[in-house]
Amino acid sequence: MDAHIFGVIPRPFISVVVPVYNEEGNIRPFLRRITQALGKVGTYEIIFCLDPCSDRTEEVIEEEIKRNPSVGMLVFSRRFGQPAATMAGIRRCNGEVCVVIDADLQDPPELIPVMYEKLQSGYDVVYAKRRSRKGETMAKLILSHIGYRVINAVSDVEIPRDTGDFRMMTRRVVEELKKLGESHGFLRGLVGFVGFSHASVEYDRRERLSGSGHYNRFMGSLKIGLNGLVGFSNFLLSISLIAGLVVASASFLLIIYIAVSKFYMKLAYPMGVPTIISLILFIGGVQLVSVGILGEYIGRIYDEVKRRPKYIVDREVNLKKKLSPLNKVRL
């Protein structure tokens, strides 16, 4: 209260970061459920991070902000995508604890008090782990199942399986995340990189309440998965090196064998058109894959050296600026 008198707003205890793109039908049910859940945890702020929407999402949020002063919104100058939106919210949040959650109610807000209870038992990160996933195509399920296992087998950091961005983090994790300047914003990898103690709680992932998913079912997951693979491991670069070495040594041995058998054993070889074609195709394929892998890394290096902002904010609505210092106001 004292803090208010000097124009400093008390820091909310828990911040909720919600990336949003065309979620008109979901905002109100989402707010109804999440505010109820947050009431069990402490004071809160909800930061909607909006890629400019073609439906009425922005208006709906603005109406809700008028009703609830703990809700705020960031609107970007164009669609920067979910990872950038999420990172923007994380950078802007003020709470001692931060939760990232989707607006489509696929992640149940009721899990937040459960995650908080777990966090209190001494963890810095609590992931929500999907026990089951409704409303997903078979292709996406298979892809993400294989993807997680491949990423974890080769990645330098631990990226827990079957988790999304839905997670709760303490302030010190948020502060470390803010120091990372990478442009891909693959939150699962970045949080894994930051480390600290972590735990998970399980939940059943529902179908989205209203509207449809914003990603191409197949390519979307593939693109995100590639960030996990390329962004957090140099394994693919070693594969092309190993493949190159294996193919080159095998063909070297083959050449010696052919020379020996032709000149010493006097074997007359027939015209080997099919063999030659398949060998050329094979080597060509290996080379293209290797160049492609290099391209994935070079593309990311290019993204980093350009040092472009990861997002540009068009406008902010009701986001707190002058807040009491951290750890002082704990409600």
Is 24 an interacting residue with respect to ligand UDP (CB under 6 A)? no
Which 251-290 residues touch Mg ion, going by CB under 5 A?
Answer: none
For 69, list phi and psi in degrees, rounded to 5: -65, -10
Q: How many CB atoms lie within 10 A of CB 233?
A: 19
CA distance 135 to 132: 10
Residue 79 touches which of ligand UDP, Mg ion, none (Cβ within 5-8 Å per kind): ligand UDP
Is 82 an interacting residue with respect to ligand UDP (CB under 6 A)? yes
Given a contact cutoff of 8 angstroms between Cβ atoms, the answer to whether 327 and 96 are in contact is yes
> What tokens were used for 282?
């094979």
What does the chain come to in residues? Answer: 331
Residue 105 touches which of Mg ion, ligand UDP, none (Cβ within 5-8 Å per kind): none
Q: How many CB atoms lie within 10 A of CB 161?
A: 16
Is 82 an interacting residue with respect to Mg ion (CB under 5 A)? no
CA distance 317 to 119: 30
Given a contact cutoff of 8 angstroms between Cβ atoms, the answer to whether 168 and 187 are in contact is no
Q: Among the candidate windows 77-85, 190-198, 232-240, 296-304, which touches ligand UDP by CB under 6 A?
A: 77-85
Is 165 an interacting residue with respect to Mg ion (CB under 5 A)? no
What's the distance, CA 115 to chain centroid? Answer: 19
Q: Minimum distance from CB of 194 to ligand UDP (Å)?
A: 21
> Nearer to ligand UDP by C-beta: 215 or 235?
215
Residue 85 touches which of Mg ion, ligand UDP, none (Cβ within 5-8 Å per kind): ligand UDP
Residue 59's closest CA among 27, 88, 104? 27
> What tokens were used for 311?
């997002």
Is 58 an interacting residue with respect to ligand UDP (CB under 6 A)? no
Is 163 an interacting residue with respect to ligand UDP (CB under 6 A)? no
Binding mask 96-125 for Mg ion (x = CB under 5 A): ------x-x-x-------------------
Positions in the binding site for ligand UDP (CB under 6 A): 19-21, 23, 51, 79, 81-82, 85, 102-104, 106, 208, 213-215
Interaction site with Mg ion (CB under 5 A): 102, 104, 106, 208
